[in-house]
């Protein structure tokens, strides 16, 4: 049996895999200690994962579109309402990047390079020349 460690994008610390999940919206890797507005006050990311809700057909269609098999061939669900479908996702309302409380510097850099049509290799070359 092995233990996997994952790195949180906010604090930069490595944690056991069950304490790190990815935001369902932006995909950022986050530890459960760095989540915001943690109303459940729970250490496990699965509390914020995909939950089955047969009454929300639009949401169930979205889950099926991204690859979750929710219903048997006869149309009956594999899950009960409220069951966790996946323990790997964190709802975007808990993500400090989606909420604007944290800034992803890499995404800002990518945005600026694209917006101003800059070449990162040329910029890096200039920086290295300045230092020498």
Based on the structure, what is the number of domains in the chain?
2
Q: What angle do CA 44, 24, 55 make, to 5 degrees?
A: 90
pLDDT over 60 (residue 1): no
Same domain, 12 and 36: yes
Same domain, 128 and 66: no
Q: Which residue has the higher pLDDT, 86 or 109?
A: 109
Same domain, 97 and 108: no
- Which residues form the domain of 37? 5-101
Q: What angle do CA 55, 61, 66 make, to 5 degrees?
A: 135
Kindly report the pTM of this predicted structure: 0.58
Q: Look over the chain and give the mean of its residue pLDDT values, rounded to a whole number.
A: 84
Same domain, 94 and 128: no
Query: pLDDT of 50-97, one tens digit each?
Result: 778 889 888 888 888 877 888 899 989 999 988 877 665 788 888 999
**Residue 25: DSSP 8-state:** T
Same domain, 109 and 94: no
Same domain, 31 and 94: yes
Same domain, 119 and 80: no
Same domain, 78 and 125: no
Same domain, 120 and 87: no
pLDDT confidence of residue 111: 94
pLDDT confidence of residue 49: 65
């Amino acid at each position: 049996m092995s233990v996997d460690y994952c790195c949180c994008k906010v604090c930069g610390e490595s944690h056991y895999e069950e304490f790190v999940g990815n935001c369902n919206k932006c995909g950022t890797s986050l530890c459960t200690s760095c989540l915001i507005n943690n109303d459940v006050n729970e250490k496990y990311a699965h509390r914020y994962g995909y939950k089955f809700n047969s009454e929300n057909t639009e949401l169930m269609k979205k889950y099926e579109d991204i690859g979750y098999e929710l219903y048997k061939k006869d149309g009956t669900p594999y899950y009960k309402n409220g069951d966790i479908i996946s323990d790997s996702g964190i709802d975007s309302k808990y993500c400090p990047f989606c909420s604007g409380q944290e800034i992803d510097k890499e995404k800002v850099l990518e945005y600026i390079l694209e917006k101003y049509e800059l070449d990162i290799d040329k910029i890096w070359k200039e920086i290295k020349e300045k230092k020498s």
